[in-house]
Amino acid sequence: LRSCSPGRARRTNASRRTCLVARFSDIYAQERLDAETLLKTYISDTEMVQRIIYIAAVESFHAAKMAYRQFKMRVRDTLSLGHSGPESLEDTVLDYIVRHEDLYDVQASVNEVIRSMNINPKISFPPEIDFIVISTLIRELCRVAFSMQTLVPPLDIAFGTDGELFSESKYHRSFDSDFTAALVAYHVWPALMENDIVIVKGEAVTKR
């Protein structure tokens, strides 16, 4: 194991949080649109394209959180053998993960996301094409989601379902929405949450 820097994770928590929230917004503004443009070369249905990207975001967070839990367990098991303080074992584990996030096997998460998307009944893709075409978006989402788990408290995305009541505090309406409709037809981008409080709004389409 490489050496640890005591207290690093908590000392840098605020600055790392600011950077990760900004990165999440950047992915929405850049990689998401790049993926949308790419998908539209294969799929003419805009709704399907947006559903694919939203599900990619949801699955990326799910895969990254699972990978983080497994990574943390391995680090804890190893560090507990020689841990003597002065920090708590949990803080020492967190410091180690923050210093060595490069050890996260992001490609394994990308593969897991694509596997999950291939069996998702809400989205479909021409059989000659693979969801790997948007792997750049998936990889960046997995990276940011993994890093968000090292924050105290961690950041996560809101759970969204088709047909839910539209929430002004959680989502922006897409420009092609029916602005008088009360229900979400489908989601374009998830909201970012901290302790069940929205810190970055997502995007949804409302229709009657």
Tens-digit pLDDT profile for residues 44-68: 999 999 999 999 999 999 999 999 9
Band (pLDDT 50/70/90 cuts) for residue 197 is very high
Reported confidence tier of residue 125, pLDDT bands at 50, 70, 90: confident
What is the spatial distance between Cα 90 and Cα 93, in angstroms, rounded to a whole number? Answer: 5
Contact (Cβ atoms closer than 8 angstroms) between residue 64 and residue 146: yes
Dihedral angle over CA of 168, 171, 172, 176, nearest 10: -110
13 pLDDT more than 90 = no
Measured at the CA of 116, the angle between CA 126 and CA 113, to 5 degrees, comes to 100
Q: What CA–CA distance (Å, rounded) separates 90 from 76? A: 8
Helix (H) or strand (E) run with residue 187 in it: strand 184-189
Read off the pLDDT of residues 14-36 as tens digits, 9 standing for 90 and up.
Answer: 998 999 999 999 999 999 999 99
Nearest CA-CA partner of 28 in 207, 183, 179, 171: 171
- Domain residue spans of the chain: 8-154, 158-207
Q: What is the pLDDT of residue 86?
A: 62
Distance CA 167, CA 27 (A): 22
Spatial CB neighbours of 6, under 8 Å, sequence gap ≥ 6: 86, 87, 91, 92, 95
* Residue 207: pLDDT over 80: yes
DSSP letter at 125 equals -
pLDDT above 80 (res 88): no
Q: Which two tokens stand for residue 113?
A: 């996301």
